[in-house]
Amino acid sequence: MAVLFCLMTKTINLNPQTFTKTKYFPGCAGNPFDRILHSLEKLENIPPLVLYIFLLLLALLGGLPYYLKYDTFPLITGFLAMFFFLDYILLSLLPVTRHSFGPPKVVTLMLACLRVPFAWLPDGWNLGFEIAGTLLVIYGFYIEPLWVDDHHETYVSPKLTGDQPLRILHVSDLHIERLTHREKTIIDKVKQLSPDLILFSGDVLNLSYLNDFTAQADAISFFNQLSAPLGVYGVTGSPAVDDPAFFARLTKSTSLQWLNNESILLETPSGLIKLLGVTCTHNPDLDEKALSDLLNHQQTPEEGINVLLYHSPDLSLNSSQLGVDLQLSGHTHGGQVRLPIFGALFTGSLYGKIFEAGRYLVNGMTLYISRGLGLEGAIAPRVRFLCRPELILWELTNNFSKPR
């Protein structure tokens, strides 16, 4: 078994569940989260005047306790209206400044509803919290989504026989809307990190831009700037996001090699690696069979390791029992919004909050769940909080003393 180290490794020892009675799967069209996103999207068509009326009513609601108690018009109502409209301006400027390209109206209403309870705090406190809210909007929408984190992980195994560590860059969940400063930063970091091999675990385009010609062209441009000596390999992500027809076009137009329920044996400086790419349906029962077929079809030499590229972490309980050594996944975005101690507010996993982000030891197998690089689409706020986008550079070696 591989020797592993990471201060933040989470250990999980569980048997996989079966999902024969599950009707809706995360990442697939028609699941409850997907229906909510698309149903709320229709509200974005409301006229601006209607939006302003809603915001003014919410501002009045924020001042209602003061009016009932003192029978005077509270100043907090005026301040609330000002903060609401400032939020709307900030969100409307996101596409103008090419930070992100989501709809502003419904998100403004969401933020307004979150602000109202803080208006009921005692005088002074309420205004302080509303100012803090504006600062959080600026940070969460303008700063953190573009603040790309790159960090190193090391995987050590006696199955690796080469003398030279292998540098693998894990890229996940791009969700490209347009080429922004974030994508430029990613390309610059990839060049600086100089990996031997690049692995992409799915979700190329943003859900709101799947059929957008400019987004597709920008995605092709992005992948044309990725290169590594041992190649660039990838798998499709969620069925609702990665259309096979576009993914096929992407692989024909760039150096990306699509592992569509396929495996490849790589001779690397660290030894032999069997790279397995399983197409994600989000149904572990189906995808376990596809993985099992790949593992049985070609035997890995005893000294080699099995590296699985699969979009969702939900297959890890199955893959850990099939002989996979290292699984690289994404999909959860780490929740995009995380709270101290509690962690992700939402993960989109069949196993709930068990799989959020980071490094795990699942039944003895190493799993890494990337926080991803892009942002959720449709009506979802283009926000990150305590959940920076990330690139992960892996060093695979047979000795702790050999990192490059």
What digits encode the pLDDT tens for the residues 291-306?
Answer: 999 988 765 556 689 9
**pLDDT at residue 161 greater than cutoff 90:** no
Q: How far apart, in whole angstroms, are the C-alpha atoms of residue 145 and residue 375?
A: 8
For residue 129, count other CB atoms closer than 10 A to its CB: 14
**pLDDT at residue 272 greater than cutoff 60:** yes
Predicted local confidence at residue 65, as pLDDT: 86
Per cent of the chain over pLDDT 90 is 79
Predicted local confidence at residue 299, as pLDDT: 58
Q: How far is CA 299 from CA 35, 156, 274, 327, in A?
A: 42, 21, 9, 18
Q: How far apart, in whole angstroms, are the C-alpha atoms of residue 134 and residue 102?
A: 18
Which residues have C-beta within 8 Å of that of residue 180, sequence separation ≥ 6? 98, 99, 100, 146
Q: Are 361 and 10 in contact (CB under 8 A)?
A: yes
**pLDDT at residue 70 greater than cutoff 80:** no
Predicted local confidence at residue 401, as pLDDT: 55
103-115 pLDDT tens trace: 999 999 999 999 9
Q: For the ranges 16-20, 32-36, 182-186, 224-228, which has the lowest average pLDDT?
A: 32-36
**pLDDT at residue 343 greater than cutoff 80:** yes
Predicted local confidence at residue 155, as pLDDT: 96
Mean pLDDT along residues 166-195: 97
For residue 337, count other CB atoms closer than 10 A to its CB: 17
Q: How far apart, in whole angstroms, are the C-alpha atoms of residue 141 and residue 175?
A: 16
Amino acid at 20: T
**CATH class in words for 3-15+23-29+150-397:** alpha beta
Mean pLDDT along residues 117-145: 96
Mean pLDDT along residues 157-183: 94
Q: Are 147 and 348 in contact (CB under 8 A)?
A: no
Q: How far apart, in whole angstroms, are the C-alpha atoms of residue 144 and residue 386?
A: 8
CA angle in degrees (0–180, nearest 5) for 97-94-39: 150
Tokens of 16: 């996989």
Q: For the ranges 62-66, 77-81, 89-93, 307-311, which has the lowest average pLDDT?
A: 62-66
Q: How far apart, in whole angstroms, are the C-alpha atoms of residue 348 and residue 312?
A: 9
**pLDDT at residue 175 greater than cutoff 60:** yes
Nearest by Cα to 251 from 231, 276, 275, 267: 231
Per cent of the chain over pLDDT 70 is 95
Q: For the ranges 242-251, 252-261, 291-300, which has the lowest average pLDDT?
A: 291-300
Tell me the three state secondary structure of residue 351. coil
Residue 36: pLDDT band (50, 70, 90) is confident
Predicted local confidence at residue 298, as pLDDT: 60
Q: How far apart, in whole angstroms, are the C-alpha atoms of residue 165 and residue 109?
A: 51
Predicted local confidence at residue 302, as pLDDT: 60
Mean pLDDT along residues 334-352: 94
Predicted local confidence at residue 35, as pLDDT: 78
| CATH 3.60.21.10 domain span(s) along the chain | 3-15+23-29+150-397
Q: How far apart, in whole angstroms, are the C-alpha atoms of residue 233 and residue 223?
A: 11
Q: How far apart, in whole angstroms, are the C-alpha atoms of residue 197 and residue 184?
A: 20
Q: What is the radius of gyration, based on Cα positions, of the chain?
A: 23
3-13 pLDDT tens trace: 333 447 899 99
**pLDDT at residue 404 greater than cutoff 60:** no
Predicted local confidence at residue 101, as pLDDT: 96
Mean pLDDT along residues 122-126: 91
Tell me the three state secondary structure of residue 171. strand
Question: Model-level pTM greater than 0.95?
Answer: no
Q: Is 5 exposed, middle or buried (0-12, 13-18, 19+ CB in 10 A)?
A: exposed
